[in-house]
Amino acid sequence: MKHIWPAIACMLAAGAVAQGLPGQPYCSYWYPDDLLTWTPSSDLDAPYNKGSVPLAGRFTGDIQVNAHARPGEASIAALCAWFSTSANPSQGLDDFDIFAPNYWMYIDIMVFWGGSAGEGLILAPSPYVIDAAHRNGVPVYGTIFFPPTVYGGQIQWVWDLVQREGSSFPVADKLIEVAEYYGFEGWFVNQETAGGNAELAMQVRDFMDYIQTTSDIDVMWYDAMIENGAISWQNALNSNNDMFFHDGEIISDEFFINFGWNSTGLTNSGNLAQSLGRSKYELFAGVDVEANGYGTSVNWDAVFPEGQPHRTSLGFYRPEWCFNSSSGPVDFYQRENRFWVGANRDPSNTATSEAWKGMAHYVVDKSPIDALPFVTNFNTGQGTLYSIDGAVRRSGEWANPSLQDVLPTWRWIADCPGTPLYPDLVWDDAYYGGTCLEVTGDIAPGSPTTLQLYKTDLSLSSSSIAQLAFRTSSAGSPSHMELALDFTDTSGMSEYISAGSSSGAGWELETLPLGQFAGRTLEAVGLRFSSGSALTGYEIRVGRIALLDGMPQAPQPPSGLWVEGFYQIDDDNGTVRLRWTASPDDGVREYNVYRLNADDSRTFLGATPGSAYFVPAVQRAEGEDETTLLVESVGEDFALSSAVSTTITWTITGIGGTSPGGRAAMEQPSPNPASSSAAIRYCLPSSGPARIDIFSLDGRIVATPGSGLQEAGWHVCEWDCAGMPGGIYFARLAFPGGTLVRKLTVMR
């Protein structure tokens, strides 16, 4: 029978660990007994792991682009993994190559999948997943995973989870505390460890009941353990497992049916759920797409019979296949589109001879856009540059889905009586963030292309405005673009407002009044492209669509900015943990972090919706002893506040560290400060000679605790510093690909 466990690719796990950045916060994970000792105040990484975007409401509205989809029936859950359990970076990476899901309009629950016998069984979601999901109205669950015994599972761990203390369950109380502190909605419980009995099964049932009755935290249960305590996948909800779903009251909010289901089993499962007073759409028929993605064989008629009510909801196991199987970012976004929308790249047209029609064929898209202001910069949460208001403030790869915008509801619906223009997202240019929308092709006279983009529910007033940021192919040329508006009192796009012409070669931000539509409700927004004469090779880039209730207003800045930790790697490179007090304004979307340059320009270092940020790379400028760091508030309308500042001070030793030729890593010596000895842990990308030297502050080698030929992988050496004077020292790893340096303090 099919098991589900976090078989994270070794490449991903190794990549995350090999970052080796000093001060790097990672997502929280525990064994049950370890969780009992956790508190936010004792966990130094806890502030960096908080989700900061509240869960948005969302709606289906009256627009249904696909006639096959059935509103108000099946939901879709996605069980997705990022890195290994112990190496999920809290706030993204200086690397484009990260899984950034972006078809949230078809997802109803996101499970942050993970856990392993060797690392930890309980995994809290990363803040970048919480933030991106919440901005789109999608709740997020962490994972509680008990693996099969063949994969290291121990039945004692299950007993540890459900241990009682009088009438309470201490681990359940901690799970509630974790979810409420980090800001996510629930837990996915997967118990696959053999060796249980009926007593343990009842304890598990009571444990989930306790969570239901003492909190608002949700639970999704996986079909593995049955009521006598054995592991026996039923591939259905039935009398052997229904007490974990409903037992006179709600025990679990959702039930994930194992992958071997059939039409009869789903029908019977739905009937049983309804007899218990529950919705059959609280049952999720599991589909394992980890290996083959949209090439997976699925009995679609069994779960979504054409022209009939859906039998249950659907649960995808590992749809990040789209990322793991891709050859690069462009390929990933193409695969992601095909997975969710189908082979035609159009959610309104899923007619195809292929078995996989895309989820747009079955479920109606949902939107969170129900209040002003609404702004999209088409930012996917990753890029090769970062722009602020049309100016590039950073060059180089980055990924942080906490910064992802609400992306177009429909990708793509391009209506045209002839050949439509071709829309796509690109990452070599941006008005704000790392992405923009590019529209290319030929325009024939009398053959406009109307690009339907966003489903909305927005009431306009006399002060409402729109803003469009765009860049044409040449300075001063007409945009041939109009804002297209669809109101609830009309059928389809009915109002068009010209964006005009560009005034230069760069990004243009045009403000368009909408007060003439006061009192009307906007249900869709798009763009129309037309020309009175033939245009060949038309190209425009769109960097922002904003719908605002008046001109943008700058928020108040944060306060109390301080450096929690500065980790100097070598004379020119370091990492920083920054903390501040949030702006008193409610309408702050995120906080931008910069370094101030000698010419008063700024280099973007990162951003977060929260009030703690890990800067993975700050570089010392030539001749600089101190570096000034700035933080500013960014409003929901993307107006910027003034900035607050703090500084870091560099220690110049003359001991340089070079970029490693392979993916080497060197952790901070531990303990640090040290008094008698310090462990120095490092990873070599390949076999060869390696040497650890200890330098004093004046650049002298005072010890060589490790030297010789070593195999690839992780190593630890001990430096006996008991006889050394107190002060600052540097441990340097030298290997054929380069050198790495870490700072160490000896206390006396």
Neighbours of 495 (CB within 10 A): 16
Question: Is the CB of residue 66 less than 8 Å from the CB of residue 360?
Answer: yes
pLDDT of residue 662: 55
Do residues 389 and 431 touch, judged by C-beta distance below 8 A? Answer: yes
Burial class (CB in 10 A: 0-12, 13-18, 19+), 611: buried
pLDDT at res. 116 = 92
pLDDT along the chain (748 residues), means of 10: 40 34 92 96 96 98 96 98 91 91 98 95 98 98 97 97 97 98 98 98 98 98 98 98 98 98 98 98 98 97 96 98 93 97 97 96 98 98 97 96 98 97 97 98 97 98 98 88 97 95 90 97 98 95 98 97 92 94 96 97 98 96 95 98 97 66 76 88 88 81 89 88 86 84 83
Give the closest residue to 399 by CA, choosing from 348, 434, 367. Answer: 434
DSSP line for 237-260? --TTTGGGTBSSSBS-SEEEE-TT
Domains and CATH numbers, the chain: 25-226+247-361 (3.20.20.80), 374-549 (2.60.120.260), 559-649 (2.60.40.10), 665-746 (2.60.40.1930)
Q: What is the pLDDT of residue 240?
A: 98
Q: Which residue has the tokens 């906007």?
A: 522
> pTM of the full predicted structure?
0.88
pLDDT at residue 505, as a whole number: 82
DSSP one-letter code for 303: H
Bridge partners for 315 per DSSP: 77, 286
Q: What are phi and psi of 177, to 5 degrees?
A: -60, -45
pLDDT score of 21: 82
Strands 374-376 and 413-415: unpaired
Measured torsion, CA atoms of residues 168, 172, 175, 180, in degrees rounded to the nearest 10? -50
